[in-house]
Every structure is written in structure tokens, then in C-alpha cells.
Structure 1
Amino acid sequence: MSLSRRNFLQAFTAAAATSVFQAPVPTLKPPRLKAGDTVALVGPAAPAFTHETVQIGIESLQALGFKTVVAKHVFDRYGYLAGTDADRAADLNAMFADPGVNAIMAMHGGWGCARLLPLLDYNLIRRNPKILVGYSDITALLLGIHAQTGLVTMHGPVGSATFNPFTVNYFRQTLLDGQAVLMENPRDKGDLLTQTKDRVMTLHPGKARGRLLGGNLTVLSHLMGSKYLPDWTGSILFLEDINEDVYRMDRMITQLKLAGVLDQISGFVFGKCTDCEPGKGYGSLTLEDVFRDHIVPLKKPAYSGAMIGHITHKFTVPVGIEAEIDADAGTLRMLEPAVR
């Protein structure tokens, strides 16, 4: 291969790598929630399997002082989806357009949000910024909408979540009170000599600052190469997942590494990987091994075990605001409110 051809290919590869992620856009914060506001329940992924589940979500939001409205297609069924892509996207667009709706909460995760990304009206969303909250498959909407509009989105409870005091406290502080919240795990030992539940593990010590970006690892990794991921430069990457074999977690984190994401971040937080224990086969790695192989060598502040994921007690983590990670203490501290 000639030198000129090699230089061209190297330049082309570098240009392609830098164009994978969406260029930064100005941050757009949604208005904070207040008592009496209306929260819309939508089904952008899996359908609502029972009316009772939706009713429990409605009553939980009403107990928090909100009115509720249920999107038109929440109970639709198209295989494993809550209706067609066009109908689910229409529900989301309608709720952003409706001046009587103040926040939008996904009823469930599942699969299907990524299919909606080309169908959303991003100019409409930009003109009508609202709180959008959910987790798991909703990661596709949280990251895609943030990348396209700059809107700060919320990795937090869905309508079918358990609204316990821990979850409600972080939800309220972040979205109603507009606080710059310190996110730290419970430290209750119970009647034991040391804490055994909800522990954090420092992977690499130190503090760092950056934009909070992340969500479900599986969903995020499957958006790679699209225009629906933000610029990771200087960010604090947070991840979670559920029911994944360790080799799959290894594969997806390796994908982020090969795509250059891990090189760009300033800090790393892993929440919970529910039901992700090593398999029974010969020679399985543990998730700790995967972190030791891929995260520790970065020599950037990193810890695992945060209250983020498919768990009953969870943080509300804003996507797109400045925060500080303290890997020694196992905390995330917002440096600014997520709402205005």
C-alpha cells in the first residue's frame, strides 16, 4: 500500500470515528413539576399488559399530587409492541405538543423505542421542552432526544415502578424541588456487622466532572453508529442492565471501547446488573473481571453498585447535566439543577 493511500485511509477512518456521535447542541432544561401538573403515561415500547398495572401507576402519580392522562395507544398490541411504530411515535409527539401535559412518563420498557427515533418531531420537542422519564429500553429516547434537541431527559422510574420513599425522594428532589442532588447509596447495615446490600465498589479512585450520559448498556450499544447518540467528550458515563450473561456484558463494553467512547469519558459509574451472574459453563468471567479488564486500565474515576437499574429503589439521573463523580465515596453530585 502506498504512503498516500495509507494516509488517506487513516484520515478517512479518523473522520468517520469523529462523526459517529451527534455534535453537542445547547442544553435545554424542561420546566420543573409542581402539584396539580399533568403527567402523561405513554407506551413507547412494550404494551400495558393489564389495566390494573396502569391504574396503580395512575394512583401512585395522583398520590404525588399530579393529574394523569393515558396516551391513546398504551393498550394496543402489535406482537411485543404497544401498537405500530407510527402510533407509538404519534403518542409521544402528541404529548409533547399538548400544552396541558407537563411531563411524560413511560409505562414500561421492553423493546421498541429505537424504532421510533426517525419518527419523532424534534423541532416540536425543542419548542415544547418537557420532562421525559423512564429507564431500560427508554434509554433510546433519553439519549436520542437529548442528542437531537439538547433536552435534559431523566433516567428514572416508569409508571409500573415501585414508588417507595427512596425512589420518590430522589424523584421529588430532582424534578419538583429543582435541587442539585447528591446521589448516594443507602448505608443501612441492618442488624449485621457490616453493610451487605447496595454496596459500592471503587474501581479506580478520584473525582471528575462532566455531563451525565448513559442508561441501559444493551440499548446504548445497539445505537452505536447512529446519529442518536451524543458526544461523549468529557462525560460521566453511567450504565445498567438486566438478565445478561457476563460474556454479553463483556462484548458490549468492548464495543464501547472499540468505538472510542471509553477513551472520551471523564468518569464511569455502573449501577446494577440484575440477574447477571456468571453462567455454569467452564471459565466464565465475572462482571468484576470485565471491569478490571476494560474500566480500571482507563485510570479514570470509576465505581460500581449505584442505585441505577432494574431495581425497586432507584435514583432519578438527569441525562445531559453537569455532575461530579467521587469514586472513593461512591457518589454522584449534580452541579446544577436538571429543571428550570
Structure 2
Amino acid sequence: MDIKLPQIIAEIKADISLNERDITLYEKNNFDSRTNAIDFIDFHILDRIASLQQQTGRNEELHALKKRAEKLENELEEINAELFVHLKEQIRTGGYTQSSFQMMISKYFGDHFFDGKKNTEMGYNNLDIFINGVLLGETIPTLTIEPKPEMVFYQQTPAKIIFELANLVKAKPDDVFYDLGSGLGQVPILINLISGVVCKGIEYEPAYCNYAQGCALNLNLLNIEFINADARKADYSKGTVFFMYTPFAGSIMQTVLTMLQNEANKRVIRIFTYGPCSPVIAKENWLTCVNGPATDFYKLYEFKSNIN
């Protein structure tokens, strides 16, 4: 036996015991710490045990530790699952809307996600896991059609960016919000929950579109519509606020921008962007970026159409 193995096993035992004794992890409101603990069990304990088992072969002590860690992980995941069921029901029955929904999020994560100046962390975090658990169904659909050239494969908008977006939009009752390339529907669903504004998602993949509509209906959110369409053929006549997380590029982007420019000739519109599409849209002379040069792919930008 490797002389270090007893020491490593002792470290693993200590790590498991530390989490088992932490009663705060079993408090439903302590989602953030519990999710961190689940990640720790996955990547620091179970992965470490698996690596040791490959090196040492059958080891009864490691096998017992694996079972113990899996039991702990399952218990913590079950608490999260029960929490999601409870929150879904609260949304479904009208318990969390607009300000009350934001207050609920603040209870779990604080309020810095509503302020882009404080929201400097890049990428995804536990808020995304939380939002996915509350808003989405269990089985994510697979693609049924190949995206056309210049269409970008779906990537989820980080939840913190959606909260920042809602804060910047400051939607009025007569606004209509469009998400171009809406994917699984998180952006329209969240914007509607936070602001109450009518939301429409334009999505080319029919399985994603149907899934998103099902999620909205499951939460009893009636002012959301997901439209299965090529963005170049969609009707934007009711739109006042638009969002794009780089859903397409090249000629498709230029065609859609021309369509939006035609709408801007009838009324002032705002376009919010995230990702590589921002500097492209910044070149449009009929738009003015109100919060910077639009050069940072990881910053949310707001564009306003010029008044004729």
C-alpha cells in the first residue's frame, strides 16, 4: 500500500465529517453554501476517491467512504429539489411577482445582482443553478434541426446579466420585450417575473421553443410568448425593447438590424446586447450606445435608436 494512502483517507474522512456536521447546510434558505458543498463533494471528495480506486484497486475503506459521500450529496441535492418545488408553486400561485420576486432572490443571494457596477464576476455561478432549478423543467431537449450558417449555437445568458438587464430596462407597462434567440427561455421568463412586462422570445429551434413555452405555462406566466421562427422572418412591430446574446452573425445579423431600423423609424426602440455582437451593433449609425464603447464581450450594453 502507498505510504500516503492512510493519510489521504484520513483527509477524506475529515472532509466528509466536516460537511456532515454542518447543520446549516440542511437549512433550506442556505442554498449557496449547500450548492458549494455539493460541488466540493463531487470534485474534491468523489473524484479523489475514484482516482484512488483506479490506483489501488478494490479497497473496502475507500468504497465505504464513497457510499458515505454519495449519501451526503444525495441528501443535500434533495433539499434543493424540495426548495425548487416550493418556489415553483409560489410563482405559479402568484406569490412571487416583480418586487416580491426580487426580494426572494435577495434573500438567497443578496442584492448585488441588480446592480451592474457591483456585478463584476464573469461566467456562471450558483445563481444560474438556482434559476435553472426554479424556472426550467427537468429534461433539457436536444436539437431537432441544424442551425443555418451564421446562426450561433445556443448558450445560456448568465442569470446575473439578466437581472442587470431587468434593472437597466426599467420596463413601462406599454413596453414589449423581445429576446432574439431565446433558447430555453430564461431571459423572457425572468424579465417577465421581475418587471411584469409582456415578453416574446424568437427561437429557431422548435424543441427549445416548445420547451420554453411549457416552462412559462407551468409557472402560470401568461404574458410570455415563444415564437418558433427565423429571426429574419419575425414580426417586430410591437417591440420596444430587444435583447441579443449574439444569436447570429454576418448577413443574418445585418438583415435583422435592418428590420429593427425600420421599426425605429416608427418609434424609439432600445437594444441590449451581450457578447461578441456588441461591437458589431455599435457600428450602426442609427443607434447610440448609452453606456460605453461596446468593446467588452462580458459587459451588457444598451443602445437607443436615434430620434429622426
TM-score, normalising length: structure 1: 0.29
Based on CA coordinates, which of the two structures has the bigger radius of gyration? 2
Greater per-residue helix proportion: 2
Q: Highest relative contact order (Cα 8 Å, sep 6+), 1 or 2?
A: 1
TM-score, normalising length: structure 2: 0.31
Greater per-residue strand proportion: 1
